Structure 1
Amino acid sequence: MMQEKKNKQRAIILVALLLATAGMLWLNSQGESPVVNKDLFKTADLTTINEVVLRTSTGATQLKFSGSQWRVNDQFDADRNMVDVLFATLRQAEPRRPVAVTQRDSVANRLEKEGVEVTLISGGEKIDVFYAGGNRQKTQAYFMRPGEEPYIVTIPGYRVYTAGIFELAGQGWRSRYVFGFNWRNFSSLETKYPAAAADGFRVELNDQYFGIRGLTLEQTNTARLNSYLDAVSLLQVKEYQDPSPALDSLGKTTPLFLIEVNDVGGTTYTLEVFPYPQGSQPAGTSRKALPVIGRIDQTAWAFFRENDLLSLNRPKAFFSRE
């Protein structure tokens, strides 16, 4: 009985091994490798990377660390959250399997022509280069090194389009904060109402407190003023807009109000707020939910949530105790 039991166990083990072998042979016959190097696209030491270039057939976006913050195309501050997502993707993305042999050439060609060439740079030296892209439906991501075979890439545990972060255009990387100053180097703030000049005011640092020119400390509602300054410093864009003839025309009209902030280094930050043109609202947007549009530093257009700007539309009398 004991020998018979052992024979049965051995038979079961043998069948399991045969099934496993057959499974591996089947996988190989489908053009898939049962073992893939999960670190295939993790050759760079990301702690040393201080520049990333994302190049497509239409242009390039440069992300570079300036020593204190990431910058986009050396023009404006980058959204730190988006940079964090980029590096998290570089750390966690893993090849699941090579692209099937029957699709390999077409996917490789599409990556080279339509994908994003990702270059990781440390101290001016190229550390790594690969292509990132996906299928037409953006449901499957591919990575490929130049001259090598493409791989289907995923982030284990997440159902995300892994290549999406690399496909962001330049404006998608821009910081959502409008005013890039901090209170340590704040010099002054001026709010102007072109249609009602008397409603405008100027905020300056007087000794140890912020005050409004023309109002004494006793005349100023400091709680309201401090809330206003906080709202200015925390204001964020809802969505940046590409230049267009309609926006060019809007920029020639008179804004509802404008805010100008100056720091001690002589840098000026501006925001002009305009009503959204009648009949030009985005599809699916009701008149009650129209976004407010603004121009930042006289160059960049963006939508804002109306409620975010309500706390900034305050005339001088709002801060007076009288």
Structure 2
Amino acid sequence: MRRTLLLFAAVILLGSLAYFASLDPTETEVADERAFGYPELEDIERIYIADREGNVADLRRGGPTGWTYGAYPANENVMKNLLQAVAQLEVRSLPASTAVPNLVRNLAGGGILVRVYDGEGNKLRGYYIGGGTSGELGAAAIMEGSDNPYVVHLPMWSGNVRHRFNLRGDEWRSKVLFDVDPQAVEYLSIDYPLQQSKAFRMERTRENQFRVTPLVASVGGVKEIPFGVAEGILSRYEDYYVSRYQNEDTVGMLTARERLPFAIVRIKEAGKPEQVASIYPQYRFPGSPQQQLQAYTAFVNDDQDWALLATETTQPLLVGYDSF
């Protein structure tokens, strides 16, 4: 009976894993079925990850953060955690024969394919990561081409290592929106469609001098300001991150496009394209006397992305003409 059960489980596993083989045809067998980790990170140029729901991450070296996710810079913290797992993943225990059917079902039903390549396209590692085991101290895993599942983990770390591979879509992307060098900024403009008296354009007139002009002439005159004053504002744009992308929120995007934004920020550095963010407040209890600002949302990256912005990091960006 046990032999029959094991054979049946193996058939399920092999049939399920054959699905992944069609997703990425590059094949090079790995000799050691227990050698999950690949510590020579400098050899790795590509990491390919896919799940049974059709989510695919093709991560390659390059770009401003060191890795790319498709056309986008990859998230530095996410890649740091992923590379640690790729380098250090190792077998924690050999499952008892009675546990093998459960591990096989685990991998067949929800395994994530991971393939690691060098710069020549040679596959350095290929395996499947399943769900966590009891106590979340390990995860089911099996090497491509093997019939033997294992429980794997990261040494000196407690938790389910699967989470480091199980990101989807925009979760792989860098959250950096503004990474500005104040010394290189040509201008900063903030329009407030519903508060025109606060709208302004601050532009560099010479190396250490800026000029501030209201966007509505009747509000006030032109102000000449030293670089130190401008730098105090521009430095807030040096290292700014979105909280997360919300491109699946089609209702929120359509609703926003029917409203005037609270602010439209335009910033331009020498040698770079202008960056624009159209920002909308997000309230708790909207429309009531008790409404509370809880966050901002914005169209960013040439109006291609809809992002959630944290209140505490966004409000310091939104200065007005009366601030000078």
Q: TM-score by structure 2 length?
A: 0.74
Deviation of 1:274 (Å): 0.6
Q: 2: distance between equivalents of 1:310 and 1:67? A: 29
Aligned positions of 1:298-313 closer than 5 A: 298-313=303-318
1:130 is matched with 127
One-letter code aligned to 2:144: P
Q: 1: distance between equivalents of 2:157 and 2:127? A: 22
Q: 1: distance between equivalents of 2:295 and 2:145? A: 47
2:5 is matched with none
User: Out of 228, 232, 240, which is 1:235 matched to?
Assistant: 240
User: Out of 223, 231, 237, which is 1:226 matched to?
Assistant: 231
Matched, 1:271 2:277: yes
Moved more, 65-74 or 94-103: 65-74
User: Larger C-alpha radius of gyration, 1 or 2?
Assistant: 1
3-state secondary structure, aligned to 2:155: coil
Moved more, 215-224 or 310-319: 215-224
3-state secondary structure, aligned to 1:102: coil
3-state secondary structure, aligned to 2:145: coil
User: Does the CA contact (< 8 Å) of 1:38 and 1:94 recur in 2?
Assistant: no
One-letter code aligned to 1:147: G
- Segments of structure 2 that go 5 or more residues without pairing to the other structure are 1-31, 215-220
1:88 is matched with 84
1:259 is matched with 265
Moved more, 113-122 or 212-221: 212-221
Deviation of 1:317 (Å): 2.3
Structure 1 residues 310, 67: CA separation in 2 closer, same or farther (over 3 Å shift)?
closer
3-state secondary structure, aligned to 2:323: helix
Aligned residues: 278
Deviation of 1:204 (Å): 3.2
2:150 is matched with 151
1:294 is matched with 298
Structure 1 residues 220, 67: CA separation in 2 closer, same or farther (over 3 Å shift)?
closer
Deviation of 1:45 (Å): 2.7
- Segments of structure 1 that go 5 or more residues without pairing to the other structure are 1-36, 281-285
Matched, 1:101 2:97: yes
What percent of counterpart residues are identical?
A: 18
Moved more, 234-243 or 197-206: 197-206
Q: Deviations over 1:8-54 (max 9, x none)?
A: xxxxxxxxxxxxxxxxxxxxxxxxxxxxx997112463212122121
Aligned positions of 1:4-23 closer than 5 A: none
- Whose strand fraction is larger, Structure 1's or Structure 2's? 2
1:16 is matched with none
User: Does the CA contact (< 8 Å) of 1:112 and 1:131 recur in 2?
Assistant: no
User: Does the CA contact (< 8 Å) of 2:278 and 2:299 recur in 1?
Assistant: yes
Q: Deviations over 1:45-72 (max 9, x none)?
A: 3212122121112220122222653344
One-letter code aligned to 1:160: G
Q: Deviations over 1:149-197 (max 9, x none)?
A: 2211122222121121100112222222212454576443322212234
Matched, 1:51 2:46: yes
2:172 is matched with 173
Moved more, 229-238 or 132-141: 132-141
Q: 2: distance between equivalents of 1:66 and 1:72? A: 6
Aligned positions of 1:53-72 closer than 5 A: 53-57=48-52, 58-66=54-62, 68-72=64-68
Q: 1: distance between equivalents of 2:316 and 2:140? A: 45
Structure 1 residues 145, 173: CA separation in 2 closer, same or farther (over 3 Å shift)?
same
Q: 1: distance between equivalents of 2:125 and 2:297? A: 40
3-state secondary structure, aligned to 2:78: helix
**What is the RMSD computed on CA atoms of the aligned residues?**
3.1
Deviation of 1:240 (Å): 2.7
Structure 1 residues 287, 238: CA separation in 2 closer, same or farther (over 3 Å shift)?
farther
Matched, 1:247 2:252: yes
User: Does the CA contact (< 8 Å) of 1:38 and 1:95 recur in 2?
Assistant: no
Q: Deviations over 1:286-314 (max 9, x none)?
A: 96462222222222222222121121111
Q: 1: distance between equivalents of 2:209 and 2:190? A: 15
User: Does the CA contact (< 8 Å) of 2:281 and 2:293 recur in 1?
Assistant: no
Deviation of 1:217 (Å): 10
User: Does the CA contact (< 8 Å) of 1:256 and 1:273 recur in 2?
Assistant: yes
Structure 1 residues 278, 289: CA separation in 2 closer, same or farther (over 3 Å shift)?
closer
Structure 1 residues 112, 278: CA separation in 2 closer, same or farther (over 3 Å shift)?
same
Moved more, 258-267 or 58-67: 258-267
One-letter code aligned to 1:66: G
2:217 is matched with none
